[in-house]
Amino acid sequence: MKSIEPAPREQRSLFGEILDWMLAPLLLLWPMSVVLTWLVAQGIANRPFDRELGEMARVLSKEVAVRETPDGRAQAVFKLPAAASEILRTDEADDVYYQVLGVRGEFISGDSALPVPTDEDRAPPGEVRFRDETLNNDAVRVAYLWVNVQDGITARAGVEAPLVQVAETLGKRSRLATEIIKGVILPQFVILPLAVLLVWLALARGIAPLNQLQQRIRNRDSSDLSPIDERQAPEEVSPLVRAINDLLARLDQSMSAQKHFLADAAHQLKTPLAGLRTQAELAQRQIGAGQHDPQALKKTLQQIARSSQSAAHMVNQLLAMARAENQEHAANQQPVNLARLATETVHDFVPRAIEKRIDLGYEGPSEAAGARNSQGPIVLGHALLLRELIRNLVDNALQYTPAGGTVTVRVIDDPFGQVVVLQVEDSGPGISAAERDQVFQPFYRSLGTNVDGSGLGLAIVREIAQQHRAEVTLEDANLRRRPGLTEHAQAPHGPGARFTLRLPAAPRVGPPTDGEGTS
């Protein structure tokens, strides 16, 4: 089933991102500011008109009197003065209503349709209160108060303080609130675009150093890997500049190493190629001179074959080194049976060991037998690279071990399941302590040996080991001569060399790969 790849993420602009985050709150707060301004304007418009309305209610309350009738009952009396009547009728913008209720809540004067305040709105006598009501389908503002009367009268049963209410429609208030809002909001229509423009200009000026940094990097020569001056970049961008400088330093180091490696590789390839050319020219001269000595021609052809074999081996080692340095393999690791890789590699080198009369052996679990678990000694790694590592160690041991010597490949499984140990030891001349760090460098060969080689085998071993988070150690093998093995061959034995590789053991998550299954 074909997998559906996710759509590529759209590239986002830092300038647009910051501008959005700055303008979005501004545009969101602007309508909220309009609403709050409206509410505040309503409160401001109500205050002067409420004071005037409350004063009218106090004037009318002074015209209310409570008297005692001949039969001993309390009765409220109200007479609207001519001056007060004029006040109620002089407002041309709004309608003004009033109402007076007696000590028993009876209607005395004014507009009977004006609603009476509820018990929750009741206030002490003489205190003016305000509320919003609806009268004749018009919204009105009402000022009301209960009139102070003699205590002896209001103390009687069923007798209350008279109520005076004055109501006014909201025309003047609405117009004043509208004027206030216009005075506040209209300037904002000029200020808001100006603020957006200033934000745009400020942001463009703030990002300008990034554009300058971009131009400095773009104008650099491709070979210029010198660090960027952090002082020429904004403080907020300094971590990014430091990261780029760190990358440039690593690139410089990597490119220098590659240039050195290519120079060494070219130098090393000159020798077999020069030998090929020399031997080919020699064969041409022999044939051109009419020499028909088969032995001489055979010897020349053998030299050509050896030189081509050396060149091919060098090329193969260079390819193996490039494959070992490929970081993609580090992310493509699977469980690998190290014992199976070791036994298969030993089998591949048996013909060569027999040809050189070297005792090549394997010690350790046979694939799964005797291992820590039923699957054998399992490590997490890349099977092809691990096979290349073992091949290079065995090839190196066979090259430097004289006839009649021994080479042993050993796999040791940790009973605690922490590591798996691989050892390759030989009975050759060994490597001095002073050279043990240098033999892992590319194209280095031990001094005092006449063995042909590329000098890349141990460098490949170290590179593969580093990719598998493994530790490689080199020490003397200190092997004793095995009785009956080399008495007739009289092979010299040195301290030998033992390469030990400690690989982290893999958890049991599934069946291991078998060598060539991963590439």
**Bigger pLDDT: 190 or 481?**
190
pLDDT at 328: 54
For the chain, give the mean pLDDT.
Answer: 77
Q: Is residue 210 part of a domain?
A: no
Looking at the structure, tell me whether residues 264 and 356 fall in a common domain: no
- pLDDT band per the 50, 70, 90 thresholds, residue 63: confident
CATH number of the domain where residue 288 is located:
1.10.287
- Interacting residues of 114 by C-beta distance below 8 A, sequence separation 6+: 97, 98, 99, 133, 135, 142, 165, 167
Q: With b meaning 16 or more CB within 10 Å and e meaning fewer, what string describes 391-414?
A: bbbbbbbbbbbbebbbbbbbbbbe
Side chain identity, residue 129:
R
Which position has the token pair 């409570």? 66
421 and 356 fall within a common domain: yes
- Of 312, 336, 351, the last residue of a domain is 312
Check whether residue 149 and residue 107 sit in a common domain: yes
**pTM for the full predicted model:** 0.47
Q: Please indicate, yes or no, whether residues 25 and 148 belong to a single structural domain of this protein.
A: yes
- Report pLDDT for 446: 64
Question: What's residue 482's pLDDT?
Answer: 46
Segment 99-104 shows an average pLDDT of: 88
Asked whether residue 366 is assigned to any structural domain, the reply reads: yes
Range of the domain at 343: 326-504
Whether 125 is in a domain gets the answer yes
Torsion of CA 341, 343, 348, 354, to 10 degrees: 150
Q: Domain for residue 395, yes or no?
A: yes
- Return the pLDDT at 129: 92
417 and 371 part of one domain = yes
Is residue 5 scored above 90 in pLDDT?
no
Verify that 44 and 99 share a domain, yes or no: yes
Q: Both 360 and 303 in a single domain?
A: no
Stated as kind and residue range, the H or E segment containing 76 is strand 74-78
State which of 125, 157, 177 marks the end of a domain: 177
408 in the same domain as 293: no
Q: Please write the tens of the pLDDT for every residue from 123-154.
A: 888 899 999 999 888 899 999 999 987 655 55
Of the ranges 86-95, 302-311, 318-327, 430-439, the best mean pLDDT one? 430-439
Q: For strand 129-135 and strand 138-146, is the pairing parallel, antiparallel, or unpaired?
A: antiparallel
- Please, which residues bridge with residue 378 across strands? 337
Confidence band for 329, pLDDT divided at 50, 70 and 90: low
**Nearest CA-CA partner of 170 in 145, 121, 144, 135:** 135
In the beta sheet, which residues pair with residue 65?
A: 77
Spatial separation of the C-alpha atoms in residues 217 and 241, rounded to whole Å: 11
Encoded tokens for 17: 């991102």
Contact 132, 116 (CB under 8 A): no
Are the C-beta atoms of residues 320 and 458 closer than 8 Å to each other?
no
Q: Are strands 406-413 and 359-363 parallel, antiparallel or unpaired?
A: parallel
Cα radius of gyration (the chain): 52
| Cα separation, 368 vs 415, whole angstroms | 14
What angle, 0 to 180 degrees and rounded to 10, lies between the N-to-C axes of helices 457-467 and 383-400? Answer: 150
Considering the domain architecture, whether residues 28 and 103 belong to the same structural domain is answered as: yes
Q: Are residues 486 and 415 in the same domain?
A: yes
Question: Tell me: the pLDDT tens digits for 167-181?
Answer: 999 888 888 888 877
- Whether 119 is in a domain gets the answer yes
Beta bridge partners of 153: none
Is residue 516's pLDDT more than 60? no
With beta carbons less than 8 A apart as the criterion, state whether 491 and 402 touch: yes
pLDDT at 373 over 70: no
Q: Using a pLDDT cut of 90, give the percent of the chain over it.
A: 8
Residue 317 burial (10 A CB sphere; 0-12, 13-18, 19+): buried
Domain count for the chain, please give it. 3
Residue 334 domain-assigned?
Answer: yes
SS3 state of residue 308: helix
Q: How far apart are CA 247 and CA 305, in angstroms?
A: 45
> What's the N-to-C CA distance of the chain in angstroms?
23
Eight-state DSSP code of residue 372: S
